[in-house]
Amino acid sequence: MASMGSLIRAASGLAASQNGLYVTGHNLANVNTPGYVRQQSMQQESNYLTIGQGKRDLLTVGLGVEISQIRQIRDSFLDRNFRTEAGRYGFYDAQAQAIDEIEAILGEIHGETIAASINDLWDALNELSKNPSGQETRGIFIQSAAIFINKANHIAEQLEEYQHNLNNQIREQVNRINDLTAEIQEWNEKIAYYEASGDHANDFRDARNLALDELSQLIDIQYHEDKIGRINIIAEGHTLLSGNYVSKIKLEQATPKNPFVKPVWADTDTDVFNMNKPVGAYYENDMGKLKGLLYARGDKTGNHT
C-alpha cells in the first residue's frame, strides 16, 4: 500500500512536469505571435489522504502535486502606462507626419523652396526699381513673378489635396475605432463564458489586449475589468463599452457646406472632441491619433483663388 502511494505521488510529479513542458512548448510556438504573452504553469500540493486517527490529530499523507493554474506573465500597471504613452505617441505622430508632408510640399526637405522663389522675385523687383525702363530687367521680373505664381498655385493645390487626404484618414480611424470596440466586446463575451467554469482564457485575453493596445493609440481611453472578466471602456469621458452596451462614433460635416467631417457620438449626437479647449501635456489631453489628425487637418478648407 505504501509503495502504491509512493507511485501515485511520483506519477503526479511527472504529470505536473509534463504539463509544464506543454506550457513551455506553447510559449515557444507562439514566440512570433502578435500580442502573445508568456504563460507559466503554477503548481500546488494535492489534497491529503487520511489514513487513521492519532492521539490528537488525524493521520494524513500527501498525494503529490497538481497544476493549480496556467497564468499569464503580465503586469496591469505596465499595461496602463504603455497604453497611456501609446495614446500620446499616436497624437504627436499624426502631427509629425503632417509636418513632414507639408515640409515636402514646400520644398523644405528637397528641391527649390518657396522662400527661394520669393527671394528671386524680390531681387528682380530691386533690379527693376533701379532701371524701370530696361527691357532686360522687366523681362527678368516678369519671369520671376510667373515662376513664383506657378509655384505658389502648385503648393496651394498640393496642400488642399493633403487636407482632403487627412480627412479620409479621419474617416478610416473612426471606422477602425468602431471595429476595435466591437471586437473587444466579442472577446469580452467569450472570456466571460469560458472563465465562468473557473478556467483561464489566456489566449482570448491576449487577443483582447492586442485590440485594446491598438485602440489606446487611436483615442484616449480609461478602462477597468469587471468581476466576470469583461473590460469596460471610457473614451474621451464617454462610455464606449459597458457590458453588452457598445457606443459608436459617426461622422458629420464639420461645418455647413464643408466637405470635412467631425466625429460625433451616435447615441448622444455630441462631439467626441471639444476642439475649443487648449491641448497639451499640461492638460493631459494630448492623446490619440484621431485627435492628432483633426488638429493637423483643421476645420477650414484652403482657398488660394
Q: What is the pLDDT of residues 108-156, one digit of tens each?
A: 656 667 788 888 889 888 888 888 888 888 888 889 899 888 888 888 8
Lowest mean pLDDT segment, chosen from 47-51, 260-264, 296-300: 47-51
Whether 98 shows a pLDDT value over 60: the answer reads: yes
Using an 8 Å Cβ cutoff, are 244 and 230 in contact? no
Q: What is the residue-averaged pLDDT of the chain? A: 86
Q: Alpha carbon of 133 to those of 64, 79, 119, 130: distances in Å?
A: 108, 74, 22, 9
The predicted pLDDT at position 63 comes to 63
The predicted pLDDT at position 227 comes to 93
Whether 68 shows a pLDDT value over 80: the answer reads: no
First to last CA, the chain: 99
pLDDT digits (tens, 9 = 90+) for 232-279: 999 999 999 999 999 999 999 988 878 899 999 999 999 999 988 999
Q: What is the arithmetic mean of pLDDT over 161-190?
A: 97
The predicted pLDDT at position 41 comes to 73
| CA 274/CA 280 separation, integer angstroms | 13
Question: Would you state the cell numbers that stand for residue 212, as one nine-digit string?
Answer: 485594446
The predicted pLDDT at position 1 comes to 46
Question: Would you state the cell numbers that stand for residue 120, as one nine-digit string?
Answer: 528671386
What is the pLDDT confidence band of residue 45, given thresholds at 50, 70 and 90?
Answer: low
Nearest to 225 by CA among 69, 120, 79: 79
177-203: b or e for each residue (b if 16 or more CB lie within 10 Å)?
Answer: bbebbebbbebbebbbebbeeeebbbb
Q: What is the arithmetic mean of pLDDT over 25-41?
A: 82
Domain ranges of the chain: 2-73, 77-111+149-297
The predicted pLDDT at position 6 comes to 63
What is the pLDDT confidence band of residue 43, given thresholds at 50, 70 and 90?
Answer: low
Q: What is the arithmetic mean of pLDDT over 161-168?
A: 95
Nearest to 259 by CA among 167, 166, 159: 167
